[in-house]
A = this chain, B = another copy of it.
Amino acid sequence: MRFAVLVSGTGTNLQALLDAEAAGQLAPAEIAAVASNRPGVLALERARVAGKPAITVEHRGYPSREAFEDALLEALAPHRIDAIVLAGFMRVLTPRFLDRFPLRVVNTHPSILPAFPGHDAAAQAIAHGVKLSGCTVHLVDSGVDTGPIIAQRAVPILSGDDAVALQRRIQAEEHRLLPAVVRALAAGRISCEGRSVVIAPGDSSDDADQLV
């Protein structure tokens, strides 16, 4: 299963996917291209270093969300994409785009959804005074961080944590969880009924991902 990774910034989650692939831990998933809606971001450099097609389609250059998405699809077309990972991609996708990849678009979010959707989830968690936050990998729908949840991990808030320290601790957990979900998705182990996502057990090496 050939994935495009969509990015907007530094690309630490992209790097976790690239590292997993380089270590042989992402198959049968393959990263076929990386695309950014912002030019010059570090994520694109990470893609190039890993020898991946690094595509920029600036959303500002298009009159509508649909026009931007059409340009993005056109740029991705040569790479024969089956599925998409949003890794810090800061644009909401339309149903029209998402319908091109049914149950094949995943996002990672740095909170235990439905708590703290949207921007600055770690800062939201610190401001609320929670003692547990974490990360969520979910199927993408046209809302903001509202799609069916595939997997979640908890991360403690420790005494003296600020948003930066918490964000860093959450990212370490995301970097383990996201490649595991991408591998399971590519292996056809993920199905969805309504809001309920089921992950089928893998073979013994897959079980190391602790998704089931």
Partner of A196, one of B129, B153, B154: B129
- Contact at A131–B114, with CB atoms within 8 Å? no
On whether A130 and B152 interact (CB within 8 A), knowing A112-B112, A115-B115, the answer reads yes
- Contact at A129–B148, with CB atoms within 8 Å? yes
* Min CB gap A184→B, angstroms: 13
Asked if A144 CB lies within 8 Å of chain B CBs, one says no
Q: How far is the CA of A6 from the CA of B130 in the complex (A)?
A: 24
- Contact at B159–A130, with CB atoms within 8 Å? no
Contacts of A149 in B (CB 8 A): 128-131
- Contact at A131–B151, with CB atoms within 8 Å? yes
Please tell me how many copies of the chain the complex holds: 2
Contacts of A150 in B (CB 8 A): 131
- Contact at A112–B114, with CB atoms within 8 Å? no
A130, A195, A196, A198 — most chain B CB neighbours (10 Å)? A130
Within 67-103 of A, Cβ neighbours of B (below 8 Å) are at: none
* Min CB gap A149→B, angstroms: 5
Q: Which chain A residues have a beta carbon within 8 Å of chain B's beta carbons?
A: 112-116, 127-132, 134, 136, 148-154, 159, 194-199, 212
A to B CB contacts below 8 Å, 30 in the list: A112-B112, A112-B115, A112-B130, A112-B132, A112-B154, A113-B115, A113-B130, A114-B115, A114-B116, A114-B130, A127-B195, A128-B149, A128-B195, A129-B148, A129-B149, A129-B194, A129-B195, A129-B197, A130-B149, A131-B136, A131-B149, A131-B150, A131-B151, A131-B152, A131-B197, A132-B152, A132-B153, A159-B198, A159-B199, A159-B212
